Chains A and B, each alone.
Chain A
Amino acid sequence: AQSVTQLGSHVSVSEGALVLLRCNYSSSVPPYLFWYVQYPNQGLQLLLKYTSAATLVKGINGFEAEFKKSETSFHLTKPSAHMSDAAEYFCAVSGGSQGNLIFGKGTKLSVKP
């Protein structure tokens, strides 16, 4: 069965610092992986997705993620954090029994001025 583990429920960085949000997956088949962002009291917005093409995926708002099969990881990074990046981030893998996505528990990103 597919699953996703996000290490760290809360990450705090200073404005301008590197953002690194960790995601490891477990999948019995080649996975499709997604990162979503959620602002308070809002739905989820897709940041980027991995669909077995390039292993380094670039998304919106300067985020990118690298698929590493040997490490079963799909960590999200951004070179320089902005105050507007403060939000909850979810990693997800496809393959739910109903065609749904399976989500990690989320990582809350705080950005300090």
Chain B
Amino acid sequence: GAVVSQHPSRVICKSGTSVKIECRSLDFQATTMFWYRQFPKQSLMLMATSNEGSKATYEQGVEKDKFLINHASLTLSTLTVTSAHPEDSSFYICSARDKFLSGGSNTEAFFGQGTRLTVV
């Protein structure tokens, strides 16, 4: 199946600093990538939808100035957590759908390995 690479897998940063997480589709083009946040023992909550060449669409309650998303190419989307605080500590997961298959909602999304962010 298609591969989505997410990097880094783990990161520890100091409060007030920024952290960038990369999500790459390795063998397909992804017009749309999704960023999720997963709290312990909970499901995945969609944070934002990243569209290549345009602004990201954020879900209600997600601060767009805090979680900056850039989707500069068909294979790369980045999430930057700015001025991180301990409450931003979480597991962040990206997913992508194949550009040539995404016309139908029956195609699955491929997921990255996730990034465990710890803000100290």
Interface residues of A (CB under 8 A from B): 9, 32, 34, 36, 41-46, 49, 51-52, 90, 94-96, 98-101, 103-106, 108
Contact = CB atoms under 8 A, between A and B. Distances in A.
Summarize A's interface: helix, strand, loop or mixed.
Answer: loop
Summarize B's interface: helix, strand, loop or mixed.
Answer: strand
A43 B49 contact: no
Given A98-B49, A108-B41, 4 more contacts: A41-B9, A90-B44, A98-B57, A103-B43
A9 B97 CA distance: 28
A104 B43 contact: yes
B49 A42 contact: no
Nearest to B51: A98
B91 interface: yes
A41 B54 CA distance: 31
A1 B10 CA distance: 35
Contacts of A36: 111
30 contacts: A9-B41, A32-B106, A34-B108, A36-B111, A41-B10, A41-B91, A42-B113, A43-B6, A43-B93, A43-B95, A43-B113, A43-B114, A44-B44, A44-B93, A46-B1, A46-B108, A49-B106, A51-B106, A90-B44, A94-B105, A99-B97, A99-B105, A100-B34, A100-B46, A100-B49, A101-B95, A101-B109, A103-B43, A106-B41, A106-B43
A98 B28 CA distance: 20
A99 B113 contact: no
B112 A43 contact: yes
A12 B103 CA distance: 39
